[in-house]
């Protein structure tokens, strides 16, 4: 069967001579102002949805990893309401003395660690709602890349701003998803009718606004929120401008590779700023069993922050 030359959707059978699907025809009529705002938009299979694909979404997988880590911490600890700094660091929290001394994987593992029951409940509620939207529009692998890279950007911003404070939580990556979607919708990456687009943008804007205001409460890692949001805005804009189509896989891979290299450069500069040589591997100066008592003088005393 032929595919639509606009969006790549598969055209119905016996569509002889047709090159544009019904969805795109109506969407273009929307853009020209020829269709009323409340007209029903036809529902068609997205061009990037593959037949036979697992019914389990990537959002559910990410959700499950976060919950599994939390359950492991709960079983190993004495409470689920508020884990100590030592516990979060042992489970992979982003903490300057270890992260900047070679344990760079903490920039990513900290995204899957949470400080307590309320913390993970709120973050997973946001992930479930926002993640489903991002995954349906971006497709699985691009969604995964945006989520993880935004998590890295959020963690790097956090450790650069307050390296002596352990930081945990998924909200930096979730803010990144919001930023990427805002940039993509603004730059017209997705074919969405104006009525639906305005409502989606209002919802995303409200999510960012209220969570940034909420982030000023004590113990909240606002730096990670802003770092994730900015990373998502930049990534979303680059994908929308340079690789808007779902068959632009090579371009999208290039965008993410370049962005990761930029983050690596930023990590090197942060380490040098604190007088540490750039190295990769478990720190020889700090042992997890003695954390966080062995904090060097160049870092502040640890008080866990939640992202």
pLDDT at 298 over 50: no
Phi first, then psi: what are they for 279, rounded to 5°? -145, 160
Q: What is the pLDDT of residues 131-172, one digit of tens each?
A: 888 888 888 999 999 999 999 999 999 999 988 889 999 999
How far is CA 260 from its chain centroid?
14
By C-alpha distance, which of 138, 137, 112, 142 is closest to 124? Answer: 112
Q: What is the pLDDT of residues 25-69, one digit of tens each?
A: 777 777 666 665 555 555 545 544 444 455 788 999 999 999 999
Q: What is the set of active-site residues?
A: 171, 225
| Rounded distance between C-alpha atoms, residue 7 and residue 268, angstroms | 41
By C-alpha distance, which of 183, 166, 171, 176 is closest to 215? Answer: 171
| Rounded distance between C-alpha atoms, residue 266 and residue 274, angstroms | 13
The whole-number pLDDT of residue 237 equals 94
CATH 1.20.1540.10 for domain 58-306: yes
Q: What is the pLDDT of residues 220-272, one digit of tens each?
A: 788 999 999 999 999 999 999 898 877 788 999 999 999 999 999 999 999 88
Taking residues 189-211, report their average pLDDT: 64
| Rounded distance between C-alpha atoms, residue 264 and residue 156, angstroms | 9
Q: What is the pTM of this model?
A: 0.76
Sequence ranges of the domains in the chain: 1-44, 58-306
Q: What is the pLDDT of residues 63-89, one digit of tens each?
A: 999 999 999 999 987 776 788 888 999
Q: What is the pLDDT of residues 168-199, one digit of tens each?
A: 999 999 999 999 988 988 886 555 555 555 66
Q: Alpha carbon of 98 to those of 79, 147, 148, 162, 283: distances in Å? A: 25, 23, 20, 13, 6
| Rounded distance between C-alpha atoms, residue 78 and residue 211, angstroms | 30
Residue 52 burial (CB < 10 Å; 0-12/13-18/19+)?
exposed
258 versus 19: the higher-pLDDT residue is 258
Residue with tokens 């956090």: 158
What six digits make up the tokens of 20? 């544009």
What are the counts of helices (DSSP H) followed by strands (DSSP E) for the chain?
11, 2
Q: Name the β-bridge partners of 3.
A: 10
């Amino acid at each position: 069967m032929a595919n639509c030359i606009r969006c790549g959707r598969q055209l119905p059978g016996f569509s002889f001579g047709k090159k544009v699907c019904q969805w795109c025809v109506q969407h273009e009529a929307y853009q020209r102002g020829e269709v009323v705002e409340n007209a029903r938009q036809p529902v068609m299979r997205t061009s990037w949805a593959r037949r036979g694909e697992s019914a389990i979404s990537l959002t559910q997988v990410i959700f499950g990893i976060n919950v599994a880590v939390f359950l492991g911490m709960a079983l190993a600890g004495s409470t689920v309401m508020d884990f100590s700094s030592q516990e979060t660091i042992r489970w992979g929290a982003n903490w300057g003395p270890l992260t900047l001394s070679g344990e760079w994987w903490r920039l990513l593992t900290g995204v899957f660690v949470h400080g307590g029951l309320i913390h993970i409940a709120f973050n997973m509620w946001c992930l479930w709602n926002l993640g489903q939207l991002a995954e349906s529009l971006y497709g699985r692998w691009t969604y995964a890349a945006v989520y993880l890279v935004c998590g890295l950007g959020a963690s790097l911003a956090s450790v650069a701003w307050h390296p002596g404070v352990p930081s945990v939580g998924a909200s930096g990556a979730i803010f990144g998803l919001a930023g990427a979607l805002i940039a993509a919708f603004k730059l017209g990456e997705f074919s969405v009718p104006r009525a639906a687009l305005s409502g989606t943008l209002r919802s995303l804007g409200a999510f960012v606004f209220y969570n940034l205001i909420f982030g000023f409460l004590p113990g909240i890692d606002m730096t990670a929120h802003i770092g994730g949001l900015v990373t998502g805005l930049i990534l979303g804009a680059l994908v929308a401008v340079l690789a808007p189509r779902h068959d632009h896989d090579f371009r999208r891979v290039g965008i993410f590779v370049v962005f990761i290299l930029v983050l690596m450069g930023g990590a090197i500069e942060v380490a040098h700023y604190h007088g540490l040589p750039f190295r990769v591997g478990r720190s020889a100066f700090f042992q997890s069993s003695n954390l966080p008592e062995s904090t060097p003088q160049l870092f502040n005393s640890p008080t866990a922050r939640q992202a």
